[in-house]
Each structure stands twice: as C-alpha cells, then as structure tokens.
C-alpha cells in the first residue's frame, strides 16, 4: 500500500485542492501534510492552495508579494496577537464587573443593617408603650397599692400621647418591613449577578493545560494526579499531537 | 435512457463489458478512442465494474435526484479500503472520468482531514519519511507556527 510513490503529482494536487475547497482543510491540515515527505512538502506549499486559504480566512486584505504560505503565516500571527489582547481586555472588564457587584452588595448590606436597627428600636418603643397603655387601663380597676404605685409611675413618666404614638409606630414598623423586603430582594438579585459574573470570569480564564499544572494541597492523591497529568502535558507539547485542537 | 446503443469494452483480463453508450462516454478516454477504430482500453477488470457502476448511477440520477441522496450513495460507494480506493483513483485518472475523479479525491481529502497528526497520515498512505533527522526538525518548526 504505497500511495505516495504511485500517484502522480497532479492527482495529489487535485486531492489537496479539493481538500481546501470541499473538505474544509485548514492551515493546520496543509502544514501536517507538508511534514510527511519531501514531495508532499513541495506540493502542499504551492501558492494556489495558500492563496485560497488567505481569501477565506483573511479576506479584503491587499497582499504584497512573497509566497502565499508565508503571507498566511504573517496574517495569522497578527490575528493571534490581536485576539490575545482582546481577550486580556475582556478579562479585565469582567474582573471590574465582579468588583462592582461586590461593592453594591456591601452597600445593600449596610442599608439592611440600618433598617433592621430602625425596626428593632420601633418595636422596642412599641412594646414599652403597650405596657404603659396596659398600665393606664389597669389603673381603672382595683390593684394592690404596690402595683398601683408602679403603674402610676409608668403612666406619668410617659410624655408622649400614647395612642397616636402607637399608631405612628405601627406605620413605621410596617414601612420598615416593606423596606427590608425590598432590600432583601435587591441583595438577592445583586448576588445572583455577582455569581454569574464570577462564573463567566472563571470560564474566560480557563486553560486546559495551565490549570492542571497548578498545585493546591500536597497529599498523595494530588501528587499522583499531577504526575499523570504532567505526562499528558508533555504529550501535548509535541506539535503533531496538538493538531487535535 | 438516452440511447440503446451499447458498446463493448474489453478489459485487461479479457473480459467483455457491455455498457450503455451514454455512460461509456463519461470517460473522456473512451470517447476519444471510440472515434478510432479497433481500439481497446486496458484497465483492470475490477475497476471497470466500479467505474461503470458509478458512471451509470450518475447518468441515471442526473436530473431527478436530490443532492442528499446522491451524496449518501457516493459516501457509501467510496467506503472501501485504501487499496481499492487507490485502484479506483488510478482507473478514474486513466479513463478520464471527471466526476469519479472528484469523488475519490474528496474521499481521500476527508481521510487526510480525519488524521490527527503527521504519523497517522504517513501510516494511512504508506508514505516514507524521506527527511533527514535534522531537516525534519526544521520542517516541523517551520510548520508549527500555528500551535500555541
């Protein structure tokens, strides 16, 4: 089974041409073929093939001279640079989004605390006023002198008109509760947004190789795992194995 | 069918095939030879059958069938082992049947595309590595600019 020796050049050319036009050959496939043998190296470097790739991947760009393959390589590397920087910018943007969400969450937490304090003090005052009104009611019936004395003291010490104050406090408690609900919802929403942004950031930063070579805790299992993955990592270093990506 | 005229073709193994003329002329070679008297085409028998089968199908289905069915049939037709594919290729080249040639070339291109790396390509096609060790390293470096 010796294809290469028996197929004439023009048939290989046809295969490569059709590969580009109909089988979605990429620059990677052409490079692979060119490593195979001298003849294939010559045949796969032809301008016709690479010009076609250029017009597909980098259209609307005026070309100067030199071989089509080296031109493609230049354009490709430029594009790669560009994409790298765009990615970095995107990661930075996402990170600032995350810190913005965190800041807002802190703010909401502060307001929640304030509101809860308000609520608690209102409730406290309410319970005191209830005691006072109970006392003034109780004064209308017979009480032992000790108790009566205490109750009289309580009623006299209260300087505010009890009933109206109770109404006002009831309103305030209601409002506080409403406000707390609003803040709670806002907190939940913001937390959700924060979590989403964190997830997005994580997936943006993910790199299959880099993450495996990081070490966290030093126990036996992790050491074994790292050794196995280190071998995989070395496997990935060889160019031909990388072509799967 | 366009015409009922059959031409007799003799293969290398001295077997005679009767083929519809309209199909026979799909092969450029036969077409030109037909104008010459007493000419014979020397092709391996098996491939004659294969070629005619395909050419026959093409002519029959030319105007009516939907594209998907044609490519389905074609992909099944080309699922042969590398040796057969090779012979089919050479036969199509010799007989100069354009559509068959393109079909086989596409199949080969797909096979290359499916190969994960250089070693697999070399194995599949029985290609000998004729680079010296140092040259090979150079070539690999030159061609690895696309890897991270």
> Which whole number is the average pLDDT over A21-30?
84
pLDDT tens per residue across span A165-179: 889 999 999 999 999
| Interface TM-score (ipTM) > 0.90 | no
What gap in Å lies between CA B113 and CA A16, rounded to an integer?
A: 10
pLDDT tens per residue across span A193-245: 999 999 888 888 876 655 554 444 445 555 666 666 666 666 655 555 444 43
The model carries a pTM of: 0.53
Which phi and psi (to 5°) does residue A81 adopt?
A: -55, -50
Query: Which band of pLDDT confidence, cut at 50, 70 and 90, is reported for residue A79?
Result: confident
- Is B112–A29 a contact, with Cβ atoms under 8 angstroms apart? yes
> Which whole number is the average pLDDT over B113-126?
83
Q: Where are the alpha helices (DSSP H) in chain A?
A: 3-6, 9-22, 27-36, 38-44, 47-57, 68-138, 145-157, 162-205, 208-213, 220-237, 239-242
Which pLDDT score, from 0 to 100, does residue B64 have?
A: 40
What gap in Å lies between CA B75 and CA B68, rounded to an integer?
A: 10
Residue A136 sits at the chain B interface (C-beta within 8 Å): no
pLDDT tens per residue across span B65-97: 455 566 666 676 677 778 777 877 777 777 677
In 10 A of CB A202, how many CB atoms? 10
Query: Which band of pLDDT confidence, cut at 50, 70 and 90, is reported for residue B37?
Result: very low
Q: pLDDT above 90 covers what percent of chain B?
A: 1
CA distance A7 to chain B (A): 8
Residues of A in contact with B116 (CB under 8 A): 240-241, 243-244
Average pLDDT, chain A: 82
Judged by average pLDDT, the poorest of A55-59, A233-237, B14-18, B23-27 is B14-18
In 10 A of CB A143, how many CB atoms? 15
User: A97 Cβ partners below 8 Å, 6+ apart?
Assistant: A197
- Is A32–B121 a contact, with Cβ atoms under 8 angstroms apart? yes
């Amino acid at each position: 089974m010796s294809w290469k020796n028996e197929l004439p050049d023009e048939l290989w050319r046809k295969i490569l041409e059709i590969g580009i036009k109909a089988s979605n050959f990429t620059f990677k496939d052409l490079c692979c073929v060119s490593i195979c043998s001298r003849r294939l190296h010559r045949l796969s470097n032809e301008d016709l093939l690479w010009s076609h790739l250029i017009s597909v991947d980098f259209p609307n760009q005026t070309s100067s001279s030199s071989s089509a393959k080296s031109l493609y390589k230049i354009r490709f590397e430029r594009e790669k640079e560009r994409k790298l920087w765009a990615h970095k910018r995107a990661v930075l943007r996402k990170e600032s989004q995350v810190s913005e969400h965190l800041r807002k969450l802190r703010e909401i937490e502060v307001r929640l605390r304030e509101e809860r304090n308000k609520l608690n003090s209102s409730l406290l005052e309410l319970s005191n006023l209830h005691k006072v009104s109970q006392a003034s009611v109780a004064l209308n019936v017979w009480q032992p002198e000790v108790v009566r004395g205490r109750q009289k003291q309580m009623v006299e010490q209260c300087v505010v008109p009890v009933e109206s104050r109770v109404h006002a406090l009831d309103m305030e408690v209601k409002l506080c509760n409403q406000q707390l609900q609003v803040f709670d919802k806002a907190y939940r929403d913001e937390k959700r947004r924060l979590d989403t942004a964190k997830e997005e950031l994580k997936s943006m930063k993910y790199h299959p190789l880099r993450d495996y070579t990081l070490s966290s805790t030093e126990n036996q299992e992790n050491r074994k795992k790292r050794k196995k993955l280190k071998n995989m990592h070395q496997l990935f270093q060889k160019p031909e194995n990388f072509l799967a990506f | 069918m366009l015409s009922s005229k059959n031409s007799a073709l003799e293969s290398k193994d001295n077997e005679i095939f009767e083929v519809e003329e309209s199909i026979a002329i799909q092969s450029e070679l036969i077409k030109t030879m037909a104008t010459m008297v007493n000419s014979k085409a020397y092709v391996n028998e098996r491939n004659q059958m294969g070629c005619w089968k395909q050419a026959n199908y093409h002519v029959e289905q030319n105007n009516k069938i939907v594209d998907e069915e044609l490519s389905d049939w074609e992909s099944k037709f080309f699922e042969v082992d590398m040796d057969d594919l090779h012979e089919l290729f050479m036969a199509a080249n010799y007989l100069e049947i354009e559509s068959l040639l393109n079909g086989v070339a596409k199949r080969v291109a797909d096979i290359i595309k499916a190969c994960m790396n250089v070693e697999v390509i070399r194995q599949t096609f029985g290609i000998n590595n004729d680079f010296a060790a140092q040259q090979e390293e150079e070539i690999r470096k030159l061609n690895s600019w696309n890897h991270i």
